[in-house]
Chain A
Amino acid sequence: EIVLTQSPGTLSLSPGERATLSCRASQSVSSSYLAWYQQTPGQAPRLLIYGASSRPTGIPDRFSGSGSGTDFTLTISRLEPEDFAVYYCQQYGSSALTFGGGTKVEIK
């Protein structure tokens, strides 16, 4: 099973600042099969990024993903008030799908 470790656990930032979230895998994720999700309190998760760097239709371009192998990054270029949430990475490079533990982005 591929273990995903997200850091930091909590990121305290102000609106307008840049957020950089990390997701590290215990072994290489094949074909960059890595996704990112956003979850706000009381809501279901929402897909932000798939294939490490592709955005689904409707996701703002302030969200970007990068990385390959074992190291992946989600960047939010300028935080909007609605971006304060918990973010999860998920690998689908193996059929034992796994999520990271999450990074909470909170208002400073």
Chain B
Amino acid sequence: DVQLLESGGGLVQPGGSLRLSCAASGFTFSVNAMSWVRQAPGKGLEWVSSISGSGGSTYSADSVKGRFTISRDSSKNTLYLQMNSLRAEDTAVYYCAKDTRAAAGKYYFDSWGQGTLVTVSA
């Protein structure tokens, strides 16, 4: 069974940084694209960033470009999201998702973790 376990969330001040991790198991991590999707409290889903299986291609939403960086370590079966210059509007539950690739940069999310809460507040 696919298992995705996020960690690293917490309370951070505006302008601060945080790194989220997602430990993956139950599938061949090194060949699978992965993504981060977030959900602000009481709101809908918002795609954040995706990375190809090789790690050679990354894609990000305009709302986080230049501030968030997605990466992966296939030796550790772990996905990361480095978040810098955090804003109040980044407050959300951040989900790690395993992707199915329809084409380059075009993914849907076939498995999800339970999420980790990031709160940006003074």
Q: Which residues does A use to contact B, with CB under 8 Å?
A: 1, 31, 33, 35, 37, 39, 43-47, 50-51, 56, 88, 90, 92-102
* In the complex, number of A-B residue pairs with CB atoms less than 8 Å apart: 67
Known: A44-B95, A45-B95. A90 touches B108 (CB 8 A): yes
Provide the residues of chain B in CB contact with A1, threshold 8 Å: 62
Provide the residues of chain A in CB contact with B115, threshold 8 Å: 44
B50 interface contact, C-beta 8 A: yes
Contact residue range for chain B?
Answer: 20 to 34
Q: Which residues does B use to contact A, with CB under 8 Å?
A: 35, 37, 44-47, 50, 59, 61-62, 95, 100, 102-115
25 examples of A-B residue contacts, CB within 8 angstroms: A1-B62, A33-B102, A33-B108, A37-B45, A37-B109, A39-B45, A44-B114, A44-B115, A45-B109, A47-B109, A47-B111, A88-B45, A92-B102, A95-B59, A95-B105, A95-B106, A96-B61, A97-B35, A97-B47, A97-B59, A99-B45, A99-B46, A101-B44, A102-B44, A102-B45
What DSSP secondary structure best describes chain A's contact surface?
Answer: loop
What DSSP secondary structure best describes chain B's contact surface?
Answer: strand
Give the distance in Å from the alpha carbon of A35 to the alpha carbon of B45 in the complex.
13
Provide the residues of chain A in CB contact with B109, threshold 8 Å: 35, 37, 45, 47, 90
Provide the residues of chain B in CB contact with A102, threshold 8 Å: 44-45
Q: Check B106–A93 contact: CB distance below 8 A.
A: yes
Give the distance in Å from the alpha carbon of A45 to the alpha carbon of B109 in the complex.
9
